[in-house]
Amino acid sequence: MPFSQACENNKQPILHILQQELQYSTHVLEVGSGTGQHSVYFAPRLAHLTWQTSDVLAHHSMINAWHAAYPAPNLYSPLTFDLAVDSLPINATSNQPYDAVFTANTLHIISWSLVEKLFELVGEALPINGKLIIYGPFNENGHYTSASNQQFDSSLRQRDPKSGIRHLEDIIALAKTHMLKLSDKHAMPANNQLLVFQKTK
């Protein structure tokens, strides 16, 4: 099966925070499920909620392969979600609104216009007090937080000039325009962060 070493490395630290932040959540949408490794690790360890995966159609086969190998009763097959053309996907089977959205290592891959689209869609979909949780690298105060992040950003921009590590201050400002307030920020291994936004009135 397709394998991401990064997912393997960060899954436990992320889960530790999710167990705190999602203890009162019931239906989570994962945006950009990638290989599916995170979903099969998180879902059975967050058994009180349902975990809905989503990604572009090209990634569904590898997500489904992981789901077949490690099934969980609260884990849902991926919905098609391409930020460039789609609205936030809804699972008719579960018939539940999302009260949390999780995404890992996506904001530095997609263009800034798609980052804006994501916050717009999530801001519209989440109920009051619903959470948006984002994992990945971020710059702070206009600077890289490590030399490795600077090198990573350079490689990202060489591959796609529209990608790159985002500035934390820009993300917080964007979130506010969609009634999403930063409620917590967790330092994570390998110079990453986990940001928790909450929908406000």
Confidence class of residue 201 from pLDDT cuts 50, 70 and 90? Answer: confident
Q: How confident is the model at residue 75 (pLDDT cuts 50, 70, 90)?
A: very high
Any idea which of 18-27, 86-95, 105-114 has the lowest mean pLDDT?
A: 86-95
Taking the C-alpha atoms of residue 201 and residue 56, their distance in angstroms, rounded to an integer, is 31
Question: Residue 54's pLDDT is what?
Answer: 97
Nearest to 70 by CA among 43, 33, 94: 43
Do β-strands 100-104 and 166-167 pair in parallel, antiparallel, or remain unpaired?
unpaired
Question: Which tokens hold the place of 119?
Answer: 């916050």
Cα–Cα dist 7/4, whole Å = 5
Q: Provide the residue type at 35 as one letter.
A: T
CB 142 within 8 A of CB 198: no
Average pLDDT of the segment spanning 13-21? 97
pLDDT of residue 91: 75
And the tokens for 9?
């490395």
Query: In degrees rounded to 5, what are phi and psi of residue 196?
Result: -120, 120
| Distances, alpha carbon 111 to alpha carbons 7, 93, 156, in Å | 22, 31, 11
With beta carbons less than 8 A apart as the criterion, state whether 75 and 46 touch: no
pTM (predicted TM-score): 0.96
Q: Which residues pair with residue 27 across a beta bridge?
A: 50
Given a cut of 80, is residue 96 above it in pLDDT? no
Q: How far apart are CA 201 and CA 199, in angstroms?
A: 7
